[in-house]
């Protein structure tokens, strides 16, 4: 996965979504838009703050995340990160278009909870 941009965002009522990282996959689903918005809780952000603060557009990352919502022509695929790391690899990326209204404003309350029951 390749980092495209980082966008800070806080919700005052819910502290479970405090940071967005826009991800461009390789290969990508779109030439001009991010493929994934990776949201982070306050805890995840604090735990990985040193890594997140040194990320630049084009840095390759790996992450573990919960799938929250499938994207469509109006919204980006939404995943909620549990962990993130930098691989040390880099790829030059073209300018990416970000439509702010396509980004999630909050994460469902259950995003940080493990599923229960038998599957």
Which string of DSSP letters, residue by residue, matches 51-85? Answer: HHTT--TTEEEEEEEEEEE---SSS-EEEEEEEEE
Q: What is the mean pLDDT of the chain?
A: 77
Q: Give 4's pLDDT tier (boundaries 50, 70, 90).
A: very low
What are 53-103's pLDDT values in tens digits? 999 889 999 999 999 999 888 888 999 999 999 999 998 887 777 777 666
Angle (CA) 28-29-33 rounded to 5° is 85
Claim: this prediction has a pTM higher than 0.95: no
pLDDT over 70 (residue 5) = no
Q: What is the distance between the terminal CA atoms of the chain, rounded to a whole angstrom?
A: 29
Domain boundaries, the chain: 2-89
pLDDT over 60 (residue 10) = no
Tell the CATH topology of 2-89.
OB fold (Dihydrolipoamide Acetyltransferase, E2P) (2.40.50)
Q: How far is CA 61 from its chain centroid? A: 11
Residue length of the chain: 119
């Amino acid at each position: 996965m390749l980092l495209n941009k980082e966008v800070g965002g806080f919700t005052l009522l819910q502290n479970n979504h405090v940071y967005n990282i826009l991800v461009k996959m390789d290969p990508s689903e779109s030439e001009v838009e991010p493929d994934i918005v990776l949201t982070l809780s306050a805890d995840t952000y604090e735990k990985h703050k040193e890594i997140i603060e040194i990320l630049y557009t084009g840095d390759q990352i790996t992450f573990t995340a919960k799938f929250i919502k499938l994207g469509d022509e109006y919204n980006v695929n939404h995943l909620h990160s549990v962990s993130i790391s930098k691989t040390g690899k880099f790829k030059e990326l073209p300018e990416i278009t970000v439509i702010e209204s396509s980004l999630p404003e909050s994460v469902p309350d259950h995003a940080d909870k493990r599923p229960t029951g038998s599957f």
